[in-house]
Amino acid sequence: MELANLSVLLVWGAATALAIGFIAFAVDLSRLSGAKVDARDAARSRAKVAVGAGVADAPVDAPVDDAGPAAPVSRKLAGIGMSVTWLAAALLLIAIVLRGIAAGRTPWANMYEFALVGTFVAVAVFVGVNTRRDVRFLGAFVAGLGVLFLVLAQEKFFVAAMGVQPALQKYWLVLHVGVAIVATGIFTVAFVTSVLQLLRDARDNGSAMLGSRRWGWLDHTATPGALESLSFRLNSVAFVLWTFTLIGGAIWAEDAWGRYWGWDPKEVWSFIVWVVYAAYLHARTTRGWSGSRAAWFVVAGYACVLFNFTGVNLIFNGKHSYSGL
């Protein structure tokens, strides 16, 4: 079998593993939330009894956290989810390496390969962070996005493995594009974290829509503050890498195109991404803008990242037209 075909098979294998992981993580979350809600209901009924007994100040929500550990839920499914996610990362890595061997170059020179490697980085960041902190609650979202990206890449962005045009033949392909992909992967995980932060924040503040039992799994993520902190750390790493992407791209453009900055659509949108995340970093430290409001900048920034990757490649006609489509 040809290496290029084997690579495609492995990508499908990784997508399948991630799909299994997604289901395992999702069921795990729903079981957790069921247990949590049951515990909360029990606590509420206890509190009502206490009120009935004449203790007017009995804190209604206080026993909830105590009740959590009292009803331990098996997290076996989360464990299965982690295992298949590790497997997916391994399969994807082999697929990427084989693709590089088949094409005889760095395996990130077009949109398809960018999507593969970006998904790999997002999954790798997730399993990597999880070795240090328990962030299994992110699993369903990272795995879900991973499946989406891989299937989209395979179905819509696929191009045969081949060499690259003269403008791409430089070591900057490894650095500039490689670092951009790593940044994109990290932005993805940070985005998931910030979305959870916003949802959790809305639920905790008594949102009518998110307060229902169906969203009970949110209680088993982490506090908004903890999610904010994790998102910020991921975003600050990705922001530094993105800054390097811009500078590296400018140095390369100076050699390849005879100018370091020319407001090519890709350059414009990379600049917009940079400015939006810079605004996010400022918002975090501005009174009245920290917390949820700052998290919206992450959502906006990630939307720009996605548009920079898809919209700019497919709609606009610029110098970065390397999608091969």
Partner 1 sequence: MAGRTRSSDSREGTYVPEGIADEFTQGEPAEAPSSGEKPQRPNAPALGLVGTLRWMWRQLTSMRVALMLLMLLAVAAVPGSVLPQRNQDAAGVIEYLADHPTAGEWLDRAGFFDVYSSVWFSAIYILLFVSLVGCILPRSAAHYRALRGRPPRVPSRFNRFPAKATATTDATPEEAVDAVAARLRGRLSWLPLFRVDRGEEAARGTRPAAATVSAERGYLRETGNLVFHLALVGLLVSVATGQMLHYRGQAIVTEGRGFANAVVDYDTFEKGSWFRPESLVPFSMTLDEFESEFASDTVAFAQARDFTAHVTVAEPSGAERSEQIKVNHPIVVDGAKIYLQGNGFAPEITVHDADGAVAFSGRVTFIPEDTMYTSRGVVKVPDVSSGLDQIGLVGYFLPTAEVNEDGSARSAFPQPVDPLLVLEVYTGDLGLDDGSPQNVYELDTANLTAAVDDQGQRIKVLARPGETVELPDGLGTLTLGEELPRYVALDLRHDPSLAFVLVFALLALGGLTVSLFTPRRRVWARAYTGPDGATVVEVAGLARGDDAGLQTEVDRALAAVTGTEPGATRREPQQPRIATRSEKD
Angle at which helix 292-309 crosses helix 265-284, to 10 degrees, equals: 170
Q: Are 152 and 13 in contact (CB under 8 A)?
A: no
Taking CB under 8 A as the criterion, the residue among 49, 61, 74, 133 binding partner 1 is: 133
Are 306 and 292 within 8 A, CB to CB? no
- Is 229 near partner 1 (CB under 8 A)? yes
Contact between 213 and partner 1 by CB under 8 A: the answer reads no
| Cα dist from 321 to 67, 100, 271, 305, 311, whole Å | 56, 20, 17, 16, 11
Q: Does position 29 bind partner 1 by CB under 8 A?
A: no
Size of the site for partner 1 (CB under 8 A): 64
- Contact call for residue 224 and partner 1 (CB under 8 A): yes
By the 8 A CB rule, do 26 and 140 touch?
A: yes
CA distance 29 to 139: 10
- Judged by CB, which is closer to partner 1: 149, or 239? 239
The angle that helices 265-284 and 224-256 make with each other, rounded to 10 degrees, is: 150
What residues numbered 137-196 form the site for partner 1, per CB under 8 A? 160-163, 165-167, 169-170
Query: What is the biggest distance separating any 2 CA atoms in the chain, rounded to whole angstroms?
Result: 82
How large is the C-alpha radius of gyration of the chain?
Answer: 23
The one segment of 8-16, 68-76, 117-125, 253-261 that binds partner 1 by CB under 8 A: 253-261
Asked if 52 and 170 count as a contact pair (C-beta separation under 8 A), the reply is: no
Among 70, 209, 240, 314, binds partner 1 (CB under 8 A): 240
Task: Determine the interface stretch with partner 1 among 32-40, 80-88, 212-220, 240-248 (rule: CB under 8 A).
Answer: 240-248
- Interface with partner 1 (CB under 8 A), residue from 236, 310, 321, 323: 236
**Smallest distance, Å, CB 236 to partner 1?**
4
Q: What are phi and psi of 47, to 5 degrees?
A: -65, -40
- Among the listed residues 309, 312, 313, 320, the single contact to partner 1 using CB under 8 A: 312
Instruction: Give whichever of 154 and 243 is closer to partner 1, judged by the CB atom.
Output: 243
Judged by CB under 8 A, does residue 125 bind partner 1?
no
Distance from C-alpha of 191 to C-alpha of 208, rounded to nearest angstrom: 24
Using the rule CB under 8 A, is 94 a contact of partner 1?
A: no
**278 sits near partner 1 (criterion: CB under 8 A):** yes
In 10 A of CB 6, how many CB atoms? 16
Binding site for partner 1 (CB under 8 A): 131-135, 160-163, 165-167, 169-170, 222-226, 229-230, 232-233, 236, 239-240, 243-244, 247, 250-251, 254-265, 268-269, 271-272, 275-276, 278-279, 282-291, 304, 312, 316
